[in-house]
């Protein structure tokens, strides 16, 4: 058969793709028009659930290359020698908007990497910010209900969004970044990436280190003002997708340099900051940035649905030499991603080519909907077995992690230092950046009720008096009102002492 001939899904020729089959030229359609039925039935199922978060995104392929030796910290194969190259896939995203949302919105950006290593895939599913709004994963569904659409109006709600954020003062660090000039990147090429959580490295000597991952854009940081973004969105809702796609298509390949911060395992017990608190950074003065390598994006996907929409990144997907940490948020994510992907894409989503490892995989998982890889043929499906098939590999066991304490719903609020790091960040800003922070905050929280605005101003004041006063001024709130407000739910207002 000629390759340009149209066929149905089982390969038979299609004689007419313009006219349905009817009884007479004006008569009703016939049930035996099976091509029409097949085409329509497939079309009816074209949409899969969008990602619950980060629904709008752009993907690209690239290569990671090691430039510095970090083998004393990790035995991970992808870092084994300088010059070693590992293929990868990245998906950038915005967070709160749906699949059709405009790109140039003030929001966090997702920065999800999938390294196809020789010892399995490693997914580092991070953001363009080093911290997050929360410390406890139990609050993650609430965060999303607060920032997504209101159940009655079906519109985004400044009240819901800021009521929630201001009641969780641990979110102020992330809120400050989001409202700063960096909260609205010009494109995905012009922002840094972070693993954000603390992970662990396991060395060849079976020693554990705590580690944070950083990716520095080599295109330079560039951001948009709210006004610039409004103009862009009016003309182009796909500005980030267009920028990434066209630059790669034109051979202008974007690059990021990778760095790590490394902490001795025992330091976690004595360091003055809880290193597993995702609302805090490790100051670079204490834990300097160590160069590791760089990655370059050099190929666009050829089919968006197959390769980007069906991509599944999961923080639980790690390789020997990389491990988790007790960060509660990370622990929560270890369940959520695989769970949502089994719902969004199906139990065999690891076989979709963009997700499949480039090395052999032998997991004994069998059957399930949409099994497409031969299902391990006639191999036996149990372990232990007497035939030396697919045995566990104890050499890869992690060193034991010492734990202590009683099982309880531990209240993370015993550490109530919500404000020193956002204050430090504020004090690092130039006057122009501070003014942008005030204005962007006022633009966003200005749509919420006054008591919520005041609660936010009080939180900002705790971080730095000038921060609170600047936001109050941009909101047109008198300082007297901020200090003496006695309205709604005073118990939950930040006190001013
Ligand atoms: C996407 C849950 C925190 C970065 C998602 C998705 C879920 C989710 C359900 C959709 C996944 C899919 O459909 O494939 C959670 C939970 C969190 C959490 C329960 C906290 C307890 C974070 C944090 C970061 C992050 C802290 C960054 C440091 C991302 C990214 C994506 C994503 C980048 C998009 C991945 C892609 O491009 O496919 N998250 N998330 N999330 N999340 Fe989270």
For 341, counting Cβ atoms within 10 Å of its Cβ (0-12 exposed, 13-18 middle, 19+ buried), the class is buried
Beta strands in 141-218 (DSSP E): 193-194, 199-202, 208-217
Distance 92 CA to ligand 1 centre (A): 12
Q: How far away, in angstroms, is 343 Cα from ligand 1 center?
A: 15
Contact 112, 123 (CB under 8 A): yes
* pLDDT, tens digit only, all 497 positions of the chain: 567 999 999 999 999 999 999 999 999 999 999 999 999 999 999 999 999 999 999 999 999 999 999 999 999 999 999 999 999 999 999 999 999 999 999 999 999 999 999 999 999 999 999 999 999 999 999 999 999 999 999 999 999 999 999 999 999 999 999 999 999 999 999 999 999 999 999 999 999 999 999 999 999 999 999 999 999 999 999 999 999 999 999 999 999 999 999 999 999 999 999 999 999 999 999 999 999 999 999 999 999 999 999 999 999 999 999 999 999 999 999 999 999 999 999 999 999 999 999 999 999 999 999 999 999 999 999 999 999 999 999 999 999 999 999 999 999 999 889 999 999 999 999 999 999 999 999 999 999 999 999 999 999 999 999 999 999 999 999 999 999 887 655 445 555 55
Indicate if 79 and 191 belong to the same structural domain. Answer: yes
452 & 342 share domain: no
Same domain (yes/no): 77, 26: no
Is residue 290, in this structure, part of any structural domain at all?
yes
For the Cβ of 135 lying below 6 angstroms from any atom of ligand 1, the answer is: no
91 lines ligand 1 (CB under 6 A): yes
| Burial of residue 376, with CB atoms counted within 10 A of its CB: 0-12 exposed, 13-18 middle, 19 or more buried | middle
Is residue 293 located within the same domain as residue 243? yes
CATH number at residue 22: 4.10.91.20
Environment class of residue 298 by beta-carbon count within 10 Å: exposed (0-12), middle (13-18) or buried (19+)? middle
**Collapsing DSSP states into helix, strand and coil, what is residue 313?**
coil
pLDDT of res. 492:
53
Catalytic positions are 54, 127
Question: How far, in Å, CA of 461 to CA of 496, rounded?
Answer: 8
Token pair belonging to 463: 């971080």
Residue 177 lies in a domain: no
Please tell me if the CB atom of residue 311 comes closer than 6 angstroms to any atom of ligand 1.
yes
CA of 52 relative to ligand 1 center, distance in Å: 8
Q: Does residue 406 form part of some domain?
A: no
* pLDDT value, residue 156: 97
Residue nearest to atom 23 of ligand 1 (CA): 126
Please state the φ and ψ torsions of residue 170, each to the nearest 5 degrees. Answer: -65, -15
Give the residue carrying structure tokens 């954000």.
Answer: 196
CA of 53 to the centre of ligand 1 (A): 6
Whether residue 123 is found in the same domain as residue 271:
yes
* pLDDT of res. 2: 65
Ligand 1 pocket member 333 (CB < 6 A): yes
Q: Is 340 in the pocket of ligand 1 (CB under 6 A)?
A: yes
Q: Which of 49, 52, 53 to mutate to test the pocket of ligand 1 (most atoms within 8 A of CB)?
A: 53
CB 224 within 8 A of CB 184: yes
Task: Report if residue 62 sits inside a domain.
Answer: yes
Residue 416 neighbours by CB under 8 Å, 6+ apart: none
In a domain, 260, yes or no: yes
What's the number of CA atoms in the CB half-sphere (13 Å) around residue 294?
13
pTM over 0.90: yes
Look at residues 309, 244, 312, 344 and name the one whose alpha carbon lies nearest to residue 100. Answer: 309
Tell me the Cα Rg of the chain: 26
297 found inside a domain: yes
My answer on whether 229 and 335 are in the same domain is yes
Tell the residue number behind the tokens 């293929």, with chain if given: 87
343, 491: one domain: no
Whole-number pLDDT of residue 490: 46
- Residue whose Cα lies nearest atom 30 of ligand 1: it is 110
424 within a domain of the structure (yes/no): yes
Distance 316 CA to ligand 1 centre (A): 12
Nearest CA to ligand 1 atom 26: 132
219: number of Cβ within 10 Å: 16
In a domain, 99, yes or no: yes
- Cβ–ligand 1 distance for 196 under 6 Å, the answer yes
Query: 287 among the known binding-site residues?
Result: no
Of 148, 194, 336, best ligand 1 pocket probe by most atoms within 8 Å of the beta carbon: 336
Cα of 59 vs centre of ligand 1, distance in Å, is 16
Q: How many domains does the chain have?
A: 3
**Domain span holding position 433:** 419-495
51 lines ligand 1 (CB under 6 A): yes
Judge if 295 and 215 occupy the same domain.
yes
The answer, yes or no, to whether any atom of ligand 1 lies below 6 A from the CB of 93, is yes
Residue nearest to atom 21 of ligand 1 (CA): 137
Report residue 1 as tokens. Answer: 């058969």
Q: Are residues 212 and 77 in the same domain?
A: yes
């Amino acid at each position: 058969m000629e390759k340009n001939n149209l066929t149905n899904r089982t390969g038979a020729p299609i004689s007419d793709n313009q006219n349905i089959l009817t009884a007479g030229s004006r008569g009703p359609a016939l049930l035996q028009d099976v091509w029409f039925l097949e085409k329509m039935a497939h079309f009816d199922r074209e949409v899969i659930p969008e990602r619950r978060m980060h629904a709008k995104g752009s993907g690209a392929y690239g290569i990671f290359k090691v430039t510095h030796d970090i083998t004393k910290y990790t035995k991970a194969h992808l870092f084994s020698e300088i010059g070693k190259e590992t293929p990868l896939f990245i998906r950038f995203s915005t967070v709160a908007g749906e699949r059709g949302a405009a790109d140039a919105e003030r929001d966090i950006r997702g920065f999800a990497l999938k390294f196809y290593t020789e010892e399995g895939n490693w997914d580092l599913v991070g953001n363009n910010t080093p911290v997050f709004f929360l410390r406890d994963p139990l609050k993650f569904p609430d965060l999303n209900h607060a920032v997504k659409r209101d159940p009655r109006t079906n519109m985004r709600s400044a009240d819901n969004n800021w009521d929630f954020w201001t009641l969780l003062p641990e979110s102020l660090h992330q809120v400050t970044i989001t409202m700063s000039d960096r909260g609205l990147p010009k494109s995905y090429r012009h922002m840094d990436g972070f693993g954000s959580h603390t992970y662990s490295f396991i060395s060849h000597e079976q020693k554990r280190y705590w580690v944070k991952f950083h990716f520095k854009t080599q295109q330079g940081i560039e951001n948009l003002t709210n006004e610039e973004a409004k103009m862009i969105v009016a003309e182009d809702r796909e500005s980030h997708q267009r920028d990434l796609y066209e630059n790669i298509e034109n051979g202008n390949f974007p690059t990021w340099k990778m760095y790590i911060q490394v902490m001795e395992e025992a330091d976690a017990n004595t360091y003055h900051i809880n290193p597993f608190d995702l609302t805090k950074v490790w100051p670079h003065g204490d834990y300097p940035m160590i160069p590791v390598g760089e990655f370059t994006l050099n190929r666009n996907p050829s089919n968006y649905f197959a390769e980007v929409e069906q991509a599944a990144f999961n923080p639980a997907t790690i390789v020997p030499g990389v491990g988790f940490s007790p960060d509660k948020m990370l622990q929560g994510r270890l369940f959520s991603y695989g769970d949502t992907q089994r719902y969004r894409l199906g139990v065999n989503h690891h076989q979709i080519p963009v997700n499949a490892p480039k090395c052999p995989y032998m997991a004994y998982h069998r059957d399930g909907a949409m099994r497409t890889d031969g299902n391990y043929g006639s191999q036996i499906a149990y372990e232990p077995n007497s035939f030396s098939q697919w045995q566990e590999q104890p050499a890869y066991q992690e060193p034991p992690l010492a734990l202590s304490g009683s099982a309880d719903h531990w209240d993370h609020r015993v550490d109530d230092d919500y404000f020193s790091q956002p204050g430090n960040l504020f004090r690092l800003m130039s006057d122009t950046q501070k003014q942008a922070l005030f204005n962007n905050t006022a633009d966003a929280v200005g749509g919420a009720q006054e008591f919520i605005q005041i609660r936010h101003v009080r939180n900002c004041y705790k971080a730095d008096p000038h921060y609170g006063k600047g936001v109050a001024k941009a909101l047109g709130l008198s300082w007297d009102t901020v200090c003496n407000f006695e309205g709604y739910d005073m118990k939950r207002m930040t006190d001013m002492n």
